[in-house]
Amino acid sequence: MRARPKAANRDLLSEAEARLAMLDPAVPTEFVHLLFARVPEEDLSPYSAEGLAELAATAYAHLSAPRKGEGADIRLIDLEVERTGRRRDITAIEVVNANMPFLLDSTLAELVEQGYEPRLVAHPIVGVERDEAGALVRVVGEATAAAPVGARRESFIQVHLDRIDDQAARARLCEGLAKVYADVAVAVRDWPGMRARITEAIYSYRSNPPPLPQDEVAEAIAFLDWVADENFTFLGIREYRLPKGDTAADPIAESG
């Protein structure tokens, strides 16, 4: 299923499809829409159709590369694109990843932390089929809700930045993003277990309440119920002992 671009973007993307067909016939022309249809009009309109076709071809080449494992495939690609009527140098960050929550927000937070200002952000969730070696067989289409039968959902992120020439800065950016994606993967993997721990705590406080005033126990249970009702994003859990007096809380080993 294609994302439906806003009317103002439709003509630009259609022209970009025609340019892509001439630039690289091996790339499905509909990939232009898949990549850019959800980009806000004000971010997309400064680009020429030719520039978008070049960016789509670059993105498809990255997506086509064999995937080794489930980790993020991060690339920095230097391009010259036509934007606001002029050829401009940009560095595009491209990331292929197994789809999971928090990827885009975490990416943008890391970019801001390192002092970068994104010029364009594209983040389609795509359904893809890959062979045993991880190479792309075909792009099935957009897979926002669920992957089509026989396909897997992958996140493709493309962010445009002003050109980055400093090699140390490039390495720092890639290292920072790799760490962010590893943290996200751990948090997502442990999400069910963390929610189960909260459920266990609620059940324990209700069935065997601690020797505390009843209103305090009720308040604690109400708070945990609220947290468990998808009002909180769990990034980690650890248990602590609370000694008497003013002694600091004591973390329980291997409870994280």
Mean pLDDT taken over the chain:
90
Strands 240-241 vs 250-251: parallel, antiparallel or unpaired: antiparallel
By the 8 A CB rule, do 147 and 98 touch?
no
DSSP percent split of the chain into helix, strand, coil, nearest 5: 45, 20, 35
**What is the end-to-end Cα distance of the chain in Å, rounded?**
41
Greater pLDDT, 76 or 142 = 76
Rounded Cα distance, 138 and 157, in Å:
18
DSSP 241: E
- Per residue in 143-194, pLDDT tens? 877 767 778 999 999 999 999 999 999 999 999 999 999 999 988 888 888 8
Q: Quick one: pLDDT band at residue 1, thresholds 50, 70, 90? A: very low
